[in-house]
Amino acid sequence: MSAAPTTVQTGVVVGIYYTLRDAEGQEIDSNRKGGKPLAFLVGAGNILPGLEKALIGKSKGDLVKAEVPPAEGYGEPRDELLEPVPRTAFPPDVDIKPGMQFQGTSQDGRAIPIKVARVEGDTVTIDKNHPLAGQTLFFEVTISGVRTATAEETQHGHPHGPGGHHH
């Protein structure tokens, strides 16, 4: 029986409050305002690799600033994720313009954001890259808790309970 973990390390469950900003300091996302902490299992790929790396070795209550480059974030934009589709795939009453965003569906049924990259005649080129691809991300994280993962959580590869996975 090992002692309860006090620092962020592989195999423990960590709760965080975070604010994510872009290079201009603009807030992109945050769970600080009345939200529950986000829970993740360290080493299971639950969060961005660059963010997890910055939290390793930190303790409950620590404030961590992490600058995450695209390679450890959402990656660089990839040309193969630009796809030409017929204009008829879009609502006829909408004036399709570059930069417009639609909700699409991936082949396995997940909702994915789709951005219009170009419009040329009857062909619309859509961009299926993650909206944050190519961006350096600036996180400010407060570690709200560190605890031992249950055997079930370790087996599933994600935390259960508040801020975690619900089945």
Interface residues with Zn ion (CB under 5 A) are 156, 165
* CB 166 to Zn ion: min, Å: 8
Nearer to Zn ion (CB atom), residue 130 or residue 165? 165
Of the candidates 41, 34, 58, 43, the residue with the CA atom closest to the CA atom of residue 139:
58
The dihedrals phi and psi of 81, each to the nearest 5 degrees, come to -95, 5
Nearer to Zn ion (CB atom), residue 40 or residue 74? 40
* CB 35 to Zn ion: min, Å: 21
Please give the residue whose beta carbon sits closest to Zn ion in the complex.
156
The dihedrals phi and psi of 41, each to the nearest 5 degrees, come to -95, 120
Nearer to Zn ion (CB atom), residue 65 or residue 166? 166
Nearer to Zn ion (CB atom), residue 75 or residue 161? 161
How many whole angstroms separate alpha carbon 12 and alpha carbon 145?
A: 10
DSSP 100: -
* CB 160 to Zn ion: min, Å: 6
* CB 161 to Zn ion: min, Å: 10
* CB 11 to Zn ion: min, Å: 15
Burial group, residue 92, by CB count within 10 angstroms (0-12, 13-18, 19+): exposed
How many whole angstroms separate alpha carbon 63 and alpha carbon 41?
A: 19
Q: Are 111 and 105 in contact (CB under 8 A)?
A: yes
Nearer to Zn ion (CB atom), residue 46 or residue 135? 46
